[in-house]
Amino acid sequence: MPKLTLTPLTAVNDSAGVIARIPWELAARSGAPAPWTSYVAFTDDGQAAGACLFKDAPKAHPEVEIAYLTFPEWQNRGYGTAMACALLEIAAGSGAVDHVVAQTLPGENASVHICRRLHFSFAGEFIDPEDGKIWRWRKSIQHPAAAAGSLSAAHSPALPRASGGPVWA
């Protein structure tokens, strides 16, 4: 899986026009408090590979929904999986959630593959008021304190980069 640096959208220097490439649905959470915000995912050499976010902070149920978008030139190279994995690690590290959910379009597609690869369970087909028919996926989270040593090094955060965001492998 490729290494990524997640940088909160509000901290991105947009000289390359990255923000214009991010759909409003993913940018909408950019003002939310960390860690429940929108991020831009940067490659090792500082290129924007996509965007990801938590759609909302946990509320009554200790659960969050994630979303991610890989820019076309970075698709099919593991960056979507790396973004989803990074969001899972942030959620686990927060101690505030027990489950992470994701919605995909129905049918076999890249997001379905990512959910399966990261061991999400299929929760069923639903009608979303904004997206229509969707498949919902759910994953239980092990908190680091409860699962000391159970997260592989490939999924663990490294030291922060100059951008201030964690590096994810």
Domain membership of residue 161 (yes or no) is: no
pLDDT of 1:
86
Paired residues of 127 in beta bridges: 133
Q: How confident is the model at residue 154 (pLDDT cuts 50, 70, 90)?
A: very low
pTM score: 0.82
pLDDT of 93:
94
Give the contacts of 164 (CB within 8 A, at least 6 positions apart). Answer: 7, 8, 11
Number of domains the chain is built from:
1
Domain membership of residue 46 (yes or no) is: yes
Q: How confident is the model at residue 145 (pLDDT cuts 50, 70, 90)?
A: low
Q: How confident is the model at residue 33 (pLDDT cuts 50, 70, 90)?
A: confident
Domain membership of residue 167 (yes or no) is: no
Residue 75 has which token pair? 């698709």
Domain membership of residue 138 (yes or no) is: yes
CATH number at residue 137: 3.40.630.30
More reliable by pLDDT, 1 or 126: 126
Q: Which domain holds residue 113?
A: 4-156
Contact 72, 31 (CB under 8 A): no
Q: How far apart are CA 80 and CA 66, in angstroms?
A: 12
